[in-house]
């Protein structure tokens, strides 16, 4: 039996009104176990996306996955945008949200499964079972029972060609976008770096991206610290919140995922 994949659309970064790392816990302790119980492989963007063209990779996952779980909690605009892409092609998506998030007017006619955002031991196991059942039911549902606005409004879904080739112009634009991403750090400011103030700035290029001593360093969108030292086989950072020194060598799997931007 081929492996079935479930792409998870949800807030990834820390969000106002929630504790730090809240949505990572929702993924690890609720969504991921439910997917595995339903015999689906869970995929979240920050786990799988590895190329420079992040937006294109995410869109491919949104459209190609066997099913999508969309967590509407906190009404994150990126989440709603990605859900719109999936629904435009009338593909199966399971909508969930935490109990403290109110229903969204534009899609309140669609079925949504609520869960307890506290993730308490006495409630999360029940929510895992309910979510696993909903994943199976949504995947096995008749094509005419897809939970989308396309079905609700009885309009024709979008169609994706089997083969799409980028023109030279589009390829150049994508390369330019990637170059801009790599240069954004040159206009970032933090408490340890100044521009135009007479202070010299030491620049390193790591995997095509510009890094500066004192600049923020991320691993898969998570801030790990400010750059103190760089060598070809290791980096040294200090977390400004915890004041901890961290050394990551090239033997560490995280080394290849180091970036200067939180995306």
Query: Which residue bears the tokens 């080394």?
Result: 255
Query: Residue 145: which residues within 8 A CB-CB, separation 6 or more?
Result: 151
CB 91 within 8 A of CB 68: yes
| pLDDT score, position 52 | 47
Q: What 3-state DSSP class applies to 201?
A: coil
In angstroms, the CA 254 to CA 191 distance is 26
CB 7 within 8 A of CB 43: yes
Give the residue from 84, 94, 74, 60 showing the smallest Cα distance to 19. 74
Both tokens of residue 190?
Answer: 């933090």
| pLDDT score, position 37 | 96
Share above pLDDT 70 across residues of the chain, in percent, rounded to a whole number:
69
CB 214 within 8 A of CB 192: yes
**pLDDT tens digits for range 191-228:** 333 334 444 445 555 555 667 777 888 888 788 888 88
Query: Which residue bears the tokens 């294109």?
Result: 56
CB 30 within 8 A of CB 96: no
Question: Which DSSP state fits 190?
Answer: B
CA distances from 103 to 66, 95, 106, 109, 184 (A): 26, 11, 9, 10, 36
Q: What is the CATH number of domain 5-153?
A: 3.40.50.450
Sign, Cα dihedral of 156, 152, 140, 129: positive
**pLDDT tens digits for range 36-72:** 999 999 999 877 655 445 677 788 889 899 999 999 9
| pLDDT score, position 36 | 96
Query: Residue 77: which residues within 8 A CB-CB, separation 6 or more?
Result: none
| pLDDT score, position 207 | 54
CB 61 within 8 A of CB 67: no
In angstroms, the CA 147 to CA 138 distance is 8
87 forms bridges with which residues in the sheet? none
| SS percent in the chain: helix, strand, coil, step 5 | 40, 25, 40
Average pLDDT (111-138) is: 94
Give the residue from 162, 157, 258, 176 showing the smallest Cα distance to 211. 258
Domain assignments of the chain as residue spans, ordered by start: 5-153, 184-259
Band (pLDDT 50/70/90 cuts) for residue 123 is: very high
| pLDDT score, position 148 | 64
pLDDT higher than threshold 60 for residue 138: yes
pLDDT higher than threshold 50 for residue 185: no
Band (pLDDT 50/70/90 cuts) for residue 153 is: low
Which range (87-101, 112-126, 166-180, 240-254) has the least confidence?
166-180
């Amino acid at each position: 039996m081929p492996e079935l994949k479930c792409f998870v659309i949800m807030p990834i970064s820390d969000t106002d009104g929630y504790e730090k790392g809240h949505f990572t816990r929702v993924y690890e302790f609720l969504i991921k176990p439910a997917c595995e119980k339903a015999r689906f492989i869970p995929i979240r963007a920050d786990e799988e996306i590895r190329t420079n063209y992040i937006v294109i990779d995410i869109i491919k996952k949104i459209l190609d996955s066997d099913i999508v779980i969309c967590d509407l909690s906190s009404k994150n605009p990126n989440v709603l945008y990605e859900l719109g892409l999936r629904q435009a092609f009338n593909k199966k998506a399971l909508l969930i949200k935490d109990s403290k998030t109110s229903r969204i007017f534009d899609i309140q006619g669609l079925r949504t499964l609520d869960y307890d955002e506290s993730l308490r031991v006495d409630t999360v196991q029940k929510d895992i079972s309910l979510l696993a059942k909903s994943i199976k039911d949504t995947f096995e549902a008749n094509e005419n029972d897809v939970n989308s606005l396309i079905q609700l409004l009885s309009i024709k879904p979008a169609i994706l060609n089997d083969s799409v080739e980028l023109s030279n112009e589009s390829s150049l634009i994508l390369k330019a976008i990637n170059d801009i991403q790599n240069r954004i750090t040159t206009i970032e400011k933090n408490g340890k770096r100044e521009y135009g103030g007479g202070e010299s700035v030491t620049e390193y290029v790591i995997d095509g991206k510009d890094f500066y001593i004192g600049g923020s360093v991320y691993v898969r969108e998570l801030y790990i610290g400010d750059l103190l030292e760089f060598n070809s086989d290791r980096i040294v950072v200090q977390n400004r919140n915890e004041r901890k020194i961290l050394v990551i060598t090239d033997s560490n799997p995280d080394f290849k995922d180091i970036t200067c931007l939180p995306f």
